[in-house]
Amino acid sequence: MIRINENYTKLKASYLFADIARRVGAYVAAHPESAVIRLGIGDVTEPLPPACVEALHAATDEMSRRATFKGYGPEQGYPFLRELVAQRDYADRGCRVEPDEVFISDGSKCDCGNMQEIFATDIRVAIPDPVYPVYVDTNVMAGRTGEAADGRYEGILYLESTAANGYVPQVPDAPADLVYLCFPNNPTGAVATRPQLEAWVAYARRNKAVILFDSAYEAYIRDPAIPHSIYEIEGARDVAIEFRSFSKTAGFTGTRCAYTVVPKTLLAWDRAGRPHALHSLWNRRHTTKFNGVAYPIQKAAAAIYTDAGRSQTRGLTDFYLGNARLIRAAMAALGLRCVGGDNAPYIWIDVGRDSWEFFDLLLEKAQVVCTPGAGFGRCGEGHVRISAFNSRENVEKALVRIAAALK
Ligand code: MLT
Closest Cα partner for 250 from 21, 56, 40, 37? 56
Burial class (CB in 10 A: 0-12, 13-18, 19+), 342: middle
Average pLDDT over residues 43-61: 98
Most informative mutation of 41, 246, 252, 387 for ligand 1 (most atoms within 8 A of CB): 41
Domain boundaries, the chain: 6-47+308-406, 53-306
The Cα-based distances of 288 to 285, 291, 402 in angstroms read 5, 8, 49
Atom of ligand 1 nearest to the CA of 187: 3
Whether 405 lines ligand 1, by a CB cut-off of 6 Å, is no
Average pLDDT over residues 152-176: 97
The Cα-based distances of 367 to 25, 44, 359 in angstroms read 12, 19, 10
Per-residue confidence band for 407, with pLDDT thresholds at 50, 70 and 90 = confident
Cβ-count burial 28-60 (b if 16+ within 10 Å, e if not): eeeeeeeebbbbbbbebbeebbebbebbbeebe
Average pLDDT over residues 202-226: 98
Most informative mutation of 105, 137, 186, 385 for ligand 1 (most atoms within 8 A of CB): 186
CA 21 to centroid of ligand 1, rounded, Å: 13
Q: How many CB atoms lie within 10 A of CB 199?
A: 16
- Residue 172 contacts residue 181 (beta carbons within 8 Å): no
CA 188 to centroid of ligand 1, rounded, Å: 12
CA 109 to centroid of ligand 1, rounded, Å: 8
Q: How does pLDDT run across 262-311, given as a tens digit for each residue?
A: 999 999 999 999 999 999 999 999 999 999 999 999 999 999 999 999 99
What does the mean pLDDT of the chain come to? 97
Atom of ligand 1 nearest to the CA of 247: 8
Whether 248 lines ligand 1, by a CB cut-off of 6 Å, is no
Task: Please tell me the distance from the alpha carbon of residue 182 to that of residue 301, in angstroms, as a whole number.
Answer: 22
Per-residue confidence band for 345, with pLDDT thresholds at 50, 70 and 90 = very high
**163, pLDDT greater than 90:** yes
For 210, which DSSP code?
E
Task: Please tell me the distance from the alpha carbon of residue 113 to that of residue 125, in angstroms, as a whole number.
Answer: 13
Atom of ligand 1 nearest to the CA of 43: 5
CA 280 to centroid of ligand 1, rounded, Å: 29
Res 15: pLDDT: 87
Q: How many CB atoms lie within 10 A of CB 328?
A: 21
Cis peptide before 130, with omega less than 30 degrees from 0? yes
Average pLDDT over residues 319-328: 98
Helix (H) or strand (E) holding 37: strand 37-38
Whether 263 lines ligand 1, by a CB cut-off of 6 Å, is no
Task: Please tell me the distance from the alpha carbon of residue 102 to that of residue 192, in angstroms, as a whole number.
Answer: 23
Whether 109 lines ligand 1, by a CB cut-off of 6 Å, is yes
CATH of 53-306, one of 3.10.20.440, 3.40.640.10, 3.40.50.11890, 3.40.50.1220: 3.40.640.10
Helix (H) or strand (E) holding 324: helix 307-333
Atom of ligand 1 nearest to the CA of 245: 8
Atom of ligand 1 nearest to the CA of 216: 8
Average pLDDT over residues 310-319: 98
Question: How many Cα atoms sit within 13 Å of 163 on the Cβ side?
Answer: 11
Taking domain 6-47+308-406, whether its CATH number is 3.90.1150.10 is answered by yes
Whether 244 lines ligand 1, by a CB cut-off of 6 Å, is no
- Those residues whose C-beta lies under 8 Å from the C-beta of residue 206, and which sit 6 or more positions away, are none
The Cα-based distances of 361 to 35, 259, 293, 357, 406 in angstroms read 15, 38, 41, 6, 9
Most informative mutation of 15, 16, 17 for ligand 1 (most atoms within 8 A of CB): 17
CA 245 to centroid of ligand 1, rounded, Å: 11
- DSSP letters, 261-308, are E--TT-EEE-TTS-EEEHHHHHHHHHHHH-----HHHHHHHHGGGSHH
Per-residue confidence band for 328, with pLDDT thresholds at 50, 70 and 90 = very high
Closest Cα partner for 346 from 383, 387, 374, 376? 387
Per-residue confidence band for 143, with pLDDT thresholds at 50, 70 and 90 = very high
Intrachain domains 6-47+308-406 and 53-306 with the same fold:
no
Res 401: pLDDT: 98
**12, pLDDT greater than 90:** no
Q: Which amino acid is at 286?
A: H
- Residue 395 contacts residue 58 (beta carbons within 8 Å): no
CA 387 to centroid of ligand 1, rounded, Å: 10
Whether 41 lines ligand 1, by a CB cut-off of 6 Å, is yes
- Those residues whose C-beta lies under 8 Å from the C-beta of residue 87, and which sit 6 or more positions away, are none
- DSSP letters, 104-160, are EES-HHHHHHHGGGGS-TTS-EEEEES--HHHHHHHHHTT-S--EETTEETTEEEEE
CA 166 to centroid of ligand 1, rounded, Å: 22
**13, pLDDT greater than 80:** no
Most informative mutation of 20, 132, 257, 347 for ligand 1 (most atoms within 8 A of CB): 132
The residue whose CA has the least distance to atom 9 of ligand 1 is 109
Q: How many CB atoms lie within 10 A of CB 139?
A: 24
Res 57: pLDDT: 98
Whether 186 lines ligand 1, by a CB cut-off of 6 Å, is yes
Helix (H) or strand (E) holding 372: strand 371-372
Atom of ligand 1 nearest to the CA of 109: 9
CA 389 to centroid of ligand 1, rounded, Å: 11
Q: How does pLDDT run across 144-154, given as a tens digit for each residue?
A: 999 999 889 99
Task: Please tell me the distance from the alpha carbon of residue 161 to that of residue 148, in angstroms, as a whole number.
Answer: 20
Whether 139 lines ligand 1, by a CB cut-off of 6 Å, is no
